[in-house]
Structure 1
């Protein structure tokens, strides 16, 4: 009998199949699998592809037992005349290899042969489902050698499928005139990432070449992952085809050339070693394609060049490399001013990637870059205008204070301020502008002061309006949208970071403190996340204005660390933890009332280091150290309960001022309670050895005193025994303290 849990989750057609399995012993024999699967073909067609994964994960034991029969049935249906059935067979193989690859390994040769065949299916949906298999196979950690021998046949199929289909909607979009206004339905949804303090794993989104997932996109993604698994082994098959496609220059073959350029971009990471000796020639070949008559060749050339950004920037120091960098830069700037919307988008995105790599190398070229970007700013329609904002913000992040020159600001700021004044507080087009100003404020630093007051006041107004709209949208005159609050909080954080104590006069004359406390208690996690980021930034530069409500800020921040849903709101907890640490080193003993409550939350976090994200672990270790620094007499009696996990976390933190603060807390606790760390001395030594160099002389001396104190305390060979269990590199690092 089927478990009721399965009955609730599985679709009726699949339940019936399982019931037939359970009720018909012949299904366990090597009898007529064909008749069984044929009988249920209509039911199989009804299965939702998106739910197959869930069904397989919850499959009854009988399906595990009968997996060979199930696979045998799939092979029987593999060449069914109905495209829907072939598509479902492919989906079943893909889902199985994602969740239970061990089942497919004995049959891998037959399945690969089948997928290779059906990847050329005349039905694009079937071919697309089959194409998903290659990425799934590579990610399933199955032996790559099982696939290696098929590469000479697979790579040409992928390249063939990367050519634009005649009905691809991008062919229509590619003709879109840049002067035509965007309709509301043309604007893609945008998502603002709330501010996060600490280490984060940035997602690489530069592969978003096309908007709709299709066979072309899937094939390019498969080629990308194959290049990362097999590296240069695919080049002998791939490059002759690419070269042949690129050498055909007549108009009728432009789609073939475009696919070849796409292929070069797809393998840019995985085959970099094999391509490296030829990259100068490849880049030189791609640069003229930026001016090709076909818009889609211009756009894909932008993307592919961006994939080689690291190489292009690395060669700036050589004369030829310097010239080539300028050629790429000017080529992308020309395309930023293209009349085609698709090319504009690709050029801006590619330029943003180049900016990130080039950083300060852009400084001598700032004037011409700003001229092109602001020309685009005046030319673009709404959708691509968002990408210009991103390119401007990325430029500010890349060059920092180099931007703070009157000649540059005269080009950059007037158009942005004009747009800022043109947009209403409820216009969603203001979101990317808020983000852009955040980067500019951080880059200009105190140089942003001349623009700061109206920007600051506008952020306050937006937050006030949205908080009112949440309670009474009629009275506020707008519909509530939390993203207005998040973007405004993040811009205020950028102002605090850029202006430093210069923001104090603005904060003192505003209602920011009370608004911020409300945001820290908001029911939306991303609002709280940005609010605690701003709380920490304000604690750094003007803590005096937080003091009147300090206990409330500390209480609400501590609650973020003591929640059963910690893993669901981990970014909120991360920022709250960081903010508490920043407040601690500013208000000192005023943190005492909540110090132990916070530490009681931080210790379990440190003990779950393998399950939680790196940023929260680092911030927890730093904040614990800061609390120990300002009130060691409260914290030190409990140190033996957390020393090992804490020292382990401290060992993973890069050298910086925050790590210095944490070690000041460590030294302060040891001075108050030296015996509390005795049982964790090995971990303490490893944490100290994690420093490349302690730049602060007084902290270096404190650490030295701690080690020498324990050396004197552990007589009769105790110190030598501790040293004997340390790895040689750790002992070498400790030698600088003469122990």
Structure 2
């Protein structure tokens, strides 16, 4: 007998569900939520009642129609949550009833209930698997194919779309030689011919789910059936259908571009027509996305070239603010004196630092704390956030200028086309620029500046001949009466800063200095958004100019100090970035006493205002880390309060996280406070003299090294990464203090060197932690006595050797482990010599790819000590060893002196010459002639 509800539970349950949504009576809401949880645990039929209430439109209670509808909505939401968190615990008869009943909700007259029912169905499929409810797809297809009411068809199509969206991989997975998508895709294609526009658009939206990367294998196999339907629907009278067609072309341009090649002329014409429909901004944006994707894809980029004269004018016109945006932006006022509200300041997040000379990715990009400085008024189409930067969070509200829109998409497409086509793009654009840069309407001037900034760097060889006329005019727009024009002009000038910074002689005076001065002046604009754009542009300029900024540091610091005095909280974050970037790229110039006297009081004033618990502390601490590194010993008068506060912050956060017995975390501490505090401690220790650093660390309360051991055990990868960076710096600069703590510290290092540590959940940050552990191990090995290291050598070698020979880790990790092994040989070569035959081949193979630096020199100094202890074990790779010696640059060998491997190399060559005897010259003859010559030129043997 089918389950039937009882009247009394329905009445009480609907009242509780209604009260659970009570926004005006918090007490009633809490009581209702508490009672619902009690009933959930006590009644095995609880989910049956929820689905019955959610799908029953006839009100069986005394509640008003409005309150009963609220109860139905609450029932559906609670049912979805119960499915998500405990579907496997629900009794089978109840599962059967829920599945059979929730489908009825798709037939409800109200859209909201149909959507709720679709959400529950999707959640059941997601947690229970496709095979857990195999009949649902045919049932939904049948409902959508019926001649019944529009509500039923709409409910079914909505549920199908949700299932596709949440179960993309599962639907394309093979189950006993069949894929669910093999059944569903032809049905969705059939629905694209439905006479109802909403059915067609929902079907297209569902198909597009599977065209997102990674593209479903079923779609790849069926693309010849899919593409003709898209082409046929390109002329659909419904805007929403055409939107999804445009989106499909953009997805295919990214995922399967070659299928579009035969149709490029028609697709270009079609998407241009849709993009011109500025009355429908969403349709225009989806059309513009095609040009963005196609211009970024090599095979389509060439195919677009014949049409750029048609494409570019449409992109340019699409970059002009529409009437709604114009009205919004014209209301911007001078607000620099107004305090920021908390809701206007988005959260910031900190990243840990990577240590060692090999801290780079495979593409050579240093994995440290580089910044991304796209202005919010540019097009910033890559979300490349880094330390101290602001991350969007819906809870903080969306600024329209931060959103991806038609204007930004068009600018990004123009940038890409210019980068890959050069002069022809600029030649097409130039007349439009000349017309609009001096246009009487500010929105046209603004769009022209955006276009020039987008196009210029990509075809700089062509543009630069016009820049002596264009740059001065841009500089005049820094005084435009419209803040948004000043804002975009800062961004555009920042885009040309790299070109101007590296001009020679008078060129730099005429171009770079005015750009730098102009942006600096706008950093004190009376409008906060202009301030932000100028500061962001100046950070871009700093990175582009690099050491070229050093002669101008006095002027720059003076302006930064004024900004510290005037900026409100929000823009203070980007100002920290400006100071940090200046310290990073022009650091030595900041160490001048007069600049220290200017900059440090401004930073200390802000330091005194920021509370320990404020998230502003993250970018401030990071900024101070770079400043301390730049100032070196000049940071000494200010170091103590910085150091002590970092110790306090670390201690407070660790205390909040640990249980009473301090063995495990109750709640993880805020990793950002720990990361930035650890990084500033590292910077201070590096910058001071050994005597000063030892004195400061010795006086720390609690003891810094004891806190460090807790951070080395932290469950968060970023915290451990910074902790191992501080460990290595402590080994370099305050080893006498570190030595007594070595036994427990080395135990932690050995545990961290296990490749399974933190890798499965987050490989990228997990490998960075192990990298820093390798580096710190090498630094400790450089200074520790054999007696200190002896108990740990076997396990250290085992772990480092496993990393050295691992084939599934980043190359930089292999290299850092090799350097650590070599450095370990400086003091513990006798113990390592026992394993030389197995160490040497992978060590030499890996080190072949490492650039010659002092670290590589130290590693070979230790390695040659190992070799000299057991020279007979090098037979399998002796020529490789000689080749490595021949490749050592003389300037490195000479510069390192006794700290380097030169003396050891000479001894090793002499040893092997004696062992080989009369066949020595013949043996060396196995090396290339240039290597033989290098050996004889570099070493005496």
TM-score between the two structures when normalised by the length of structure 2: 0.70
Structure 1 residues 625 and 129: alpha-carbon distance in aligned structure 2, compared to 1, 3 A threshold: farther
**Structure 2 counterparts to residues 539-618 of structure 1, below 5 A:** 539-564=731-756, 565-566=758-759, 567-568=763-764, 569-589=766-786, 590-608=788-806, 612-613=809-810, 615-618=812-815
Q: Deviations over 1:462-516 (max 9, x none)?
A: 111111122479xxxx995221111111111110111141211111122111111
C-alpha displacement of 1:615: 4.1
Match of 2:421 in 1: 230
Residue 485 in 1 paired to residue 674 in 2?
A: yes
Residue 454 in 1 paired to residue 641 in 2?
A: yes
C-alpha displacement of 1:138: 4.1
C-alpha displacement of 1:420: 1.6
Q: Deviations over 1:594-636 (max 9, x none)?
A: 3343343334444456x54454344223212211232222323
Structure 1 residues 630 and 104: alpha-carbon distance in aligned structure 2, compared to 1, 3 A threshold: farther
Structure 1 residues 437 and 734: alpha-carbon distance in aligned structure 2, compared to 1, 3 A threshold: same
Match of 2:823 in 1: 626
2:683 to 487, 494, 506: 494
Match of 2:306 in 1: 149
CA distance in 1, matches of 2:728, 2:571: 34
SS class of match (2:582)? helix
CA distance in 2, matches of 1:94, 1:643: 52
1:196 to 340, 351, 354: 354
Structure 1 residues 729 and 148: alpha-carbon distance in aligned structure 2, compared to 1, 3 A threshold: farther
C-alpha displacement of 1:517: 0.4
**Structure 2 counterparts to residues 183-262 of structure 1, below 5 A:** 183-198=341-356, 199-200=359-360, 201=365, 205-210=372-377, 211-246=402-437, 248-250=438-440, 252=441, 254-262=442-450
Instruction: Kindly indicate whether the alpha-carbon contact (under 8 Å) linking 1:312 and 1:321 is maintained by their aligned counterparts in 2.
Output: yes
Residue 508 in 1 paired to residue 710 in 2?
A: no
Match of 1:719 in 2: 923
**Structure 2 counterparts to residues 375-386 of structure 1, below 5 A:** 375-386=562-573
Match of 1:289 in 2: 477
Structure 1 residues 83 and 205: alpha-carbon distance in aligned structure 2, compared to 1, 3 A threshold: farther
Residue 177 in 1 paired to residue 335 in 2?
A: yes
Instruction: Kindly indicate whether the alpha-carbon contact (under 8 Å) linking 1:44 and 1:85 is maintained by their aligned counterparts in 2.
Output: no
Residue 700 in 1 paired to residue 902 in 2?
A: yes
2:838 to 634, 641, 644: 641
**Structure 2 counterparts to residues 304-343 of structure 1, below 5 A:** 304-315=492-503, 317-343=504-530
C-alpha displacement of 1:460: 0.8
Structure 1 residues 68 and 548: alpha-carbon distance in aligned structure 2, compared to 1, 3 A threshold: same
Moved more, 430-439 or 39-48: 39-48
Match of 2:460 in 1: 272
Structure 1 residues 588 and 50: alpha-carbon distance in aligned structure 2, compared to 1, 3 A threshold: farther
SS class of match (1:277)? coil
Moved more, 176-185 or 106-115: 106-115
Q: Deviations over 1:146-205 (max 9, x none)?
A: 121121112222222222233339726854511121111211221222111143426662
C-alpha displacement of 1:284: 3.0
Instruction: Kindly indicate whether the alpha-carbon contact (under 8 Å) linking 2:194 and 2:200 is maintained by their aligned counterparts in 1.
Output: no
CA distance in 1, matches of 2:331, 2:754: 51
C-alpha displacement of 1:523: 0.8
Instruction: Kindly indicate whether the alpha-carbon contact (under 8 Å) linking 1:637 and 1:676 is maintained by their aligned counterparts in 2.
Output: no
CA distance in 1, matches of 2:883, 2:288: 48
Match of 1:370 in 2: 557
Moved more, 32-41 or 645-654: 32-41
SS class of match (1:164)? coil
CA distance in 2, matches of 1:32, 1:440: 62
Structure 1 residues 66 and 607: alpha-carbon distance in aligned structure 2, compared to 1, 3 A threshold: same
Match of 2:727 in 1: 535
Moved more, 692-701 or 18-27: 18-27
Instruction: Kindly indicate whether the alpha-carbon contact (under 8 Å) linking 2:205 and 2:244 is maintained by their aligned counterparts in 1.
Output: no
SS class of match (1:150)? helix
C-alpha displacement of 1:359: 4.3
Q: Deviations over 1:182-237 (max 9, x none)?
A: 11121122122211114342666233433211111122222222223223342222
CA distance in 1, matches of 2:181, 2:774: 54
RMSD over aligned CA atoms reads 3.6
Structure 1 residues 262 and 119: alpha-carbon distance in aligned structure 2, compared to 1, 3 A threshold: same
Residue 736 in 1 paired to residue 937 in 2?
A: yes
**Structure 2 counterparts to residues 51-90 of structure 1, below 5 A:** 53=212, 57-60=215-218, 63-90=219-246
Q: How many residues align?
A: 724
Q: Deviations over 1:118-151 (max 9, x none)?
A: 3334322222223223343344442532121121
Instruction: Kindly indicate whether the alpha-carbon contact (under 8 Å) linking 2:755 and 2:770 is maintained by their aligned counterparts in 1.
Output: no
TM-score between the two structures when normalised by the length of structure 1: 0.88
Instruction: Kindly indicate whether the alpha-carbon contact (under 8 Å) linking 1:14 and 1:43 is maintained by their aligned counterparts in 2.
Output: no
**Structure 2 counterparts to residues 512-523 of structure 1, below 5 A:** 512-523=704-715
CA distance in 1, matches of 2:245, 2:721: 44
Instruction: Kindly indicate whether the alpha-carbon contact (under 8 Å) linking 1:389 and 1:436 is maintained by their aligned counterparts in 2.
Output: yes
Match of 1:263 in 2: 451
C-alpha displacement of 1:461: 0.8
Instruction: Kindly indicate whether the alpha-carbon contact (under 8 Å) linking 1:33 and 1:72 is maintained by their aligned counterparts in 2.
Output: no
Structure 1 residues 718 and 387: alpha-carbon distance in aligned structure 2, compared to 1, 3 A threshold: same
Q: Deviations over 1:218-274 (max 9, x none)?
A: 22222222223223342222223222322x342x2x222222222222233321222
Match of 1:12 in 2: 160
Instruction: Kindly indicate whether the alpha-carbon contact (under 8 Å) linking 2:752 and 2:770 is maintained by their aligned counterparts in 1.
Output: yes
Instruction: Kindly indicate whether the alpha-carbon contact (under 8 Å) linking 2:193 and 2:200 is maintained by their aligned counterparts in 1.
Output: no
SS class of match (1:598)? helix
Structure 1 residues 146 and 517: alpha-carbon distance in aligned structure 2, compared to 1, 3 A threshold: same
Structure number, greater radius of gyration:
2
Moved more, 583-592 or 683-692: 683-692
CA distance in 2, matches of 1:26, 1:262: 44
Structure 1 residues 622 and 359: alpha-carbon distance in aligned structure 2, compared to 1, 3 A threshold: same
Structure 1 residues 655 and 243: alpha-carbon distance in aligned structure 2, compared to 1, 3 A threshold: farther
Structure 1 residues 712 and 284: alpha-carbon distance in aligned structure 2, compared to 1, 3 A threshold: farther
- Which structure 1 residue ranges, 5 or more long, are not aligned? none
Moved more, 163-172 or 30-39: 30-39
C-alpha displacement of 1:534: 0.9
